C-alpha cells in the first residue's frame, strides 16, 4: 500500500506539472474517458431495451432503439477518435516537456552543481530512461486507463447493486428467496471481497517479481544507449574503432548486452503472462458467480431478459476494469521509479550563494578584480588545485597565465567567472566579494573563449550574437577582428548560413575556423574583460600568430586575460603569472621573468628548442 501511495505521489506531481505546461492535455484525456464510458454504458442500456422490445414484439420501439444504438455508437466513435487525434499531438507536447524541464533546470543550476559527475549522471539517466519508458506520454496513457477503469468499476458496481436490489415476483421458493435484495447483496459482496482479496494477492506477488527484474536491470538502457549512440553511430569513435581494430571486442560487448536485454524482457513478459493467466482465472470464477446471480434474477422474474444482457455486460466491464487497474498500476510504478529520480533532480538546490547586489555600470571599464588568498579544491576532491592565490587584475591591463598542463590556470578563470566558488579566501570586484553581486550581471562583465568552446548548429549570426540583439555591422567588425570575416563571406548565405548539418543543410567548418568564429562571438559581447583560454589550439601557426598580433586590438580599452601554451605570444602582456602545481611561483613582465632564470625561463627555453 505504501508503495502504491508513493507511486501516485510521483504520478500526481507529474500530472500537475503537465497541466501547468499545457492546460489542454488533461481535459482532453478526461473528455476521452467520458466519451468512451458513455458509449459503452449507453450501449448496454439500449441493448437491454432492444432485447426486451423484440421479446415483447414491440417492433416500432425496437426500430427506434436500434437507430439510437447505431447513432450512439457512431457519435461515440467519432468523438473518441477526435479526442484520440488531439491526444496524439498533445502526447508529443508532454513527451517534449520533460526535456524542456530538464534543460530549464540544467540552465538554472550553478555550473559547479552541473559539472558534478553525480548530477551529470542524474541528468543523463532521467533523459534516457524516461525516454525508454515512454516518458510523460506513458504516464498520461496509464493514468487515463486507470481513471477510466476506476470509473467503470464504480458504474458497473452501482449497476450490479441495483440488480441486487430488484425483487423477484414471488417469495416462496428457495430461488426467489435467494433472489431477494439482501441475499443477493450478500452474495455479490462476498464475491467482490473474494475477488479483491485474491486480486490483491496476485498483484503483490507479481508486482514483487516484476520489481525484482526491473531493479536488477536498472541502467540497462543507459548502456544500450551508450553503445549505440556514443560508440556505434559516432563518427569519431568510428575512426578509433577501425584504426585499433576494436570491432570484435565491441561486437562482443553488444552481444552481451543483447543477451541481457533478451533475458530481461523474456523474464518480464513471462511474469506478465502469468499475471494475466492468474487474473483471467479469477475473473472467470467471478464471472461464473455473477452469471448465476443474474440468471437467478431472470428466472425469478426480478429482471427482464433484456436486463440480463445489460447486467452481464456490466459484470464484464467490472472484470476488465479490475484487471486494467492492476496491470496499469504495476506499469505505472515502473515508470514512476524513474520519474521519481527525475523529480528529485528538479528539486535539487544549487550550492551557490545567489547574490542580489546590483553591479555598478562603469563606462570607463574600471572594474578591478582581486584574488585575496584564494584556495580551491573541486567538490569531492581532497587535493587543492589552487593554493593561496593573491593577485590583482590591472584595469585595462594585459595579463598572461602560463604554466604546465594541470597547473590550475583554467580553474583560476572558472573561479573568476564564478562558475565555481573559492573553497577559501575571496575574489572581489571593486572591493566587494563577487558572491554578493547578481550572478547574471556579474557574468556580463566577461567575454570568454575556452579551449573547448562550443558552436551550435544554428546560423552564423545566432552563434555570434548569442542571444544579444543582431547588429550586422557589429557582427562583421567582430568577425574582422577575429580574422573570420573571409570564412563567412565564402559561405553560401553568409551570416544566415547554418553551421553543421544537424538542423538545416548547413556548412561544415574546420576546428580552426570554428575557433575564429568563437572568438568573434566573444568580441561581439563587447564585455569589459576579455578572457582567452588557449583559444588558438586548433589554429595553424600562421593563423595563430595572426590572432595574437590582433589581440592588442581586440582588447583595446578592456582588461585582457590570456592563457597560452605558446610562450612567445605572452611577451606583450604587462604581467605574466607563472602557475605551478596550483601556486603562482613567479610574476612580472617578460623581461623581468626572463632575467630571473626560473620556471618561466625553463618553459621558454623548452619551447624555443621546438620553435627555433
Ligand atoms: P590548466 O588549465 O593549468 O591545464 P586546470 O585548471 O584545467 O589546469 O586543472 C588543474 C587541476 O584540476 C588538474 O589536476 C585537473 O585534473 C583538475 N581538474 C580540472 N577540472 C576538474 C574537475 N571538474 N573536477 C576535478 N578536478 C578537476
Output phi, psi for 169, to 5 deg.
-65, -50
Give the tens place of pLDDT for each residue, 386-404. Answer: 999 998 887 778 888 988 8
How far apart CA 138 and CA 3 sit, in angstroms, is 19
Residue nearest to atom 22 of ligand 1 (CA): 378
Cell of 365: 571599464
Ligand 1: which of 118, 374, 378 to mutate, most ligand atoms within 8 Å of CB? 378
Question: What is the predicted pLDDT for the residue at 133?
Answer: 55
Q: Could you tell me whether strands 432-433 and 446-449 are parallel, antiparallel, or unpaired per DSSP bridges?
A: unpaired
Task: Tell me how far the alpha carbon of residue 400 lies from the centroid of ligand 1, in angstroms.
Answer: 18
Ligand 1: which of 406, 580, 583 to mutate, most ligand atoms within 8 Å of CB? 406
Residue nearest to atom 24 of ligand 1 (CA): 378
Handedness of CA 227, 232, 233, 237 (dihedral sign): positive
Residue nearest to atom 7 of ligand 1 (CA): 410
Task: Tell me how far the alpha carbon of residue 452 lies from the centroid of ligand 1, in angstroms.
Answer: 14
Q: How confident is residue 365, by pLDDT bands cut at 50, 70 and 90?
A: low
Enter the CATH code of domain 2-218+266-345: 1.20.1560
Ligand 1 proximity of 385 Cβ (cutoff 6 Å): yes
Q: Which of 363, 350, 527 is nearest to 435 (CA)?
A: 350
pLDDT at 178 over 90: no
Question: What is the predicted pLDDT for the residue at 272?
Answer: 79
How far apart CA 360 and CA 306 sit, in angstroms, is 84
Task: Tell me how far the alpha carbon of residue 413 lies from the centroid of ligand 1, in angstroms.
Answer: 11
Atom of ligand 1 nearest to the CA of 380: 25
Name the residue with cell 544537424.
Answer: 502
Ligand 1 proximity of 415 Cβ (cutoff 6 Å): no
Atom of ligand 1 nearest to the CA of 579: 3
| CA–centroid distance for 306 within its chain | 53
Q: How confident is residue 31, by pLDDT bands cut at 50, 70 and 90?
A: very high
Ligand 1 proximity of 405 Cβ (cutoff 6 Å): yes
Q: What kind and span of H or E run contains 104? A: helix 59-108
Give the tens place of pLDDT for each residue, 124-146. Answer: 766 666 665 556 788 888 999 99
> In this structure, how many other beta carbons lie within 10 angstroms of the beta carbon of residue 300?
21
Ligand 1 proximity of 76 Cβ (cutoff 6 Å): no
Average of per-residue pLDDT values in the chain: 82
Where does 109-134 have alpha helices with state H?
Answer: 111-115, 117-132
Taking residues 193-203, report their average pLDDT.
81
Where does 435-482 have alpha helices with state H?
Answer: 439-443, 460-465, 472-481
Cell of 28: 482532453
Ligand 1 proximity of 378 Cβ (cutoff 6 Å): yes
Q: Could you tell me whether strands 398-402 and 559-563 are parallel, antiparallel, or unpaired per DSSP bridges?
A: parallel
Name the residue with cell 472467470.
Answer: 284
Task: Tell me how far the alpha carbon of residue 244 lies from the centroid of ligand 1, in angstroms.
Answer: 29
pLDDT at 600 over 90: no
Question: Burial letters for 423-439: b for 16+ Cβ neighbours within 10 Å, e otherwise?
Answer: eebbbbbeeeebbebeb
How far apart CA 77 and CA 71 sit, in angstroms, is 10
Q: How is residue 540 annotated by DSSP?
A: -
Q: Could you tell me whether strands 369-376 and 529-533 are parallel, antiparallel, or unpaired per DSSP bridges?
A: unpaired
Task: Tell me how far the alpha carbon of residue 183 lies from the centroid of ligand 1, in angstroms.
Answer: 80
Ligand 1 proximity of 411 Cβ (cutoff 6 Å): yes
Cell of 253: 560487448
Q: How confident is residue 593, by pLDDT bands cut at 50, 70 and 90?
A: confident
Ligand 1 proximity of 156 Cβ (cutoff 6 Å): no
Domain segments of the chain: what residues? 2-218+266-345, 369-611
How far apart CA 136 and CA 131 sit, in angstroms, is 9
Beta bridge partners of 393: 369
Q: How confident is residue 353, by pLDDT bands cut at 50, 70 and 90?
A: low
Establish how many alpha carbons lie within 13 A of residue 262's alpha carbon, considering only the half-sphere containing its beta carbon: 6
369-611: which CATH topology? Rossmann fold (3.40.50)
Q: How confident is residue 535, by pLDDT bands cut at 50, 70 and 90?
A: low
Ligand 1 proximity of 410 Cβ (cutoff 6 Å): yes
Question: What is the predicted pLDDT for the residue at 219?
Answer: 65
Cell of 575: 604581467
Atom of ligand 1 nearest to the CA of 582: 10
Amino acid at each position: 500500500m505504501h508503495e502504491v501511495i508513493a507511486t501516485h505521489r510521483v504520478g500526481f506531481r507529474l500530472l500537475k506539472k503537465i497541466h501547468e505546461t499545457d492546460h489542454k492535455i488533461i481535459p482532453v484525456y478526461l473528455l476521452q474517458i467520458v466519451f468512451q464510458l458513455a458509449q459503452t454504458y449507453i450501449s448496454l442500456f439500449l441493448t437491454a431495451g432492444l432485447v426486451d422490445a423484440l421479446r415483447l414484439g414491440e417492433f416500432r420501439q425496437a426500430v427506434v432503439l436500434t437507430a439510437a444504438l447505431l447513432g450512439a455508437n457512431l457519435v461515440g466513435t467519432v468523438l473518441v477518435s477526435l479526442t484520440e487525434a488531439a491526444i496524439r499531438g498533445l502526447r508529443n507536447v508532454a513527451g517534449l516537456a520533460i526535456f524542456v524541464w530538464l534543460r530549464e533546470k540544467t540552465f538554472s543550476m550553478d555550473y559547479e552543481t552541473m559539472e558534478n559527475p553525480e548530477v551529470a549522471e542524474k541528468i543523463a539517466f532521467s533523459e534516457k530512461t524516461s525516454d525508454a519508458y515512454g516518458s510523460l506520454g506513458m504516464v498520461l496513457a496509464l493514468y487515463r486507463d486507470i481513471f477510466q477503469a476506476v470509473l467503470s468499476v464504480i458504474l458497473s458496481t452501482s449497476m450490479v447493486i441495483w440488480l441486487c436490489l430488484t425483487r423477484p415476483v414471488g417469495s416462496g421458493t428457495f430461488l426467489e428467496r435467494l433472489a431477494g435484495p439482501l441475499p443477493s447483496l450478500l452474495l455479490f459482496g462476498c464475491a467482490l471481497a473474494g475477488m479483491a482479496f485474491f486480486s490483491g494477492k496476485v498483484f503483490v506477488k507479481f508486482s514483487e517479481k516484476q520489481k525484482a527484474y526491473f531493479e536488477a536491470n536498472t541502467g540497462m538502457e543507459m548502456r544500450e544507449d551508450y553503445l549505440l549512440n556514443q560508440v556505434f553511430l559516432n563518427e569519431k569513435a568510428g575512426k578509433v574503432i577501425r584504426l585499433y581494430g576494436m570491432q570484435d571486442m565491441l561486437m562482443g560487448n553488444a552481444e552481451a548486452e543483447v543477451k541481457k536485454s533478451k533475458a530481461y524482457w523474456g523474464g518480464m513478459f513471462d511474469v506478465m503472462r502469468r499475471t494475466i493467466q492468474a487474473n483471467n482465472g479469477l475473473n472467470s470464477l467471478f464471472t461464473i458467480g455473477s452469471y448465476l446471480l443474474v440468471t437467478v434474477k431472470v428466472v425469478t422474474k426480478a429482471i427482464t431478459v433484456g436486463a440480463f444482457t445489460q447486467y452481464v455486460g456490466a459484470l464484464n466491464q467490472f472484470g476488465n476494469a479490475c484487471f486494467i487497474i492492476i496491470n496499469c498500476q504495476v506499469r505505472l510504478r515502473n515508470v514512476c521509479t524513474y520519474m521519481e529520480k527525475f523529480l528529485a533532480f528538479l528539486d535539487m538546490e544549487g550550492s551557490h550563494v545567489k547574490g542580489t547586489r546590483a553591479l555598478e555600470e562603469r563606462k570607463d571599464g574600471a572594474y578591478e578584480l582581486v584574488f585575496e588568498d584564494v584556495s580551491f579544491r573541486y567538490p569531492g576532491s581532497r587535493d587543492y588545485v589552487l593554493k593561496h592565490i593573491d593577485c590583482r587584475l590591472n584595469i585595462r591591463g594585459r595579463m598572461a597565465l602560463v604554466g604546465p598542463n594541470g597547473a590550475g590556470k583554467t580553474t583560476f578563470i572558472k573561479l573568476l567567472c564564478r562558475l565555481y566558488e573559492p573553497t577559501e579566501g575571496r575574489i572581489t570586484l571593486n572591493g566587494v566579494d563577487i558572491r554578493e553581486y547578481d550572478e547574471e550581471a556579474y557574468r556580463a562583465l566577461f567575454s570568454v573563449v575556452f579551449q573547448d568552446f562550443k558552436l551550435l548548429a544554428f546560423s552564423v549570426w545566432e552563434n555570434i550574437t548569442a542571444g544579444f540583439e543582431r547588429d550586422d555591422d557589429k557582427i562583421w567588425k567582430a568577425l574582422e577582428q577575429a580574422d573570420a570575416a573571409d570564412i563567412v563571406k565564402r559561405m553560401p548565405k553568409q551570416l544566415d548560413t547554418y553551421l553543421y548539418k544537424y538542423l538545416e543543410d548547413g556548412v561544415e567548418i574546420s576546428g580552426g575556423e570554428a575557433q575564429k568564429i568563437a572568438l568573434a562571438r566573444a568580441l561581439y559581447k563587447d564585455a569589459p574583460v576579455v578572457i582567452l583560454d588557449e583559444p588558438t589550439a586548433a589554429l595553424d601557426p600562421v593563423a595563430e600568430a595572426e590572432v595574437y598580433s590582433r589581440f592588442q586590438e581586440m582588447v583595446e580599452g578592456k582588461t585582457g586575460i590570456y592563457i597560452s601554451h605558446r610562450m612567445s605570444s605572452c611577451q606583450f602582456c604587462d604581467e605574466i603569472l607563472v602557475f605551478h602545481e596550483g601556486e603562482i611561483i613567479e610574476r612580472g613582465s617578460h623581461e623581468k621573468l626572463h632575467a630571473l632564470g626560473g620556471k618561466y625561463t625553463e618553459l621558454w627555453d623548452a619551447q624555443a628548442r621546438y620553435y627555433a
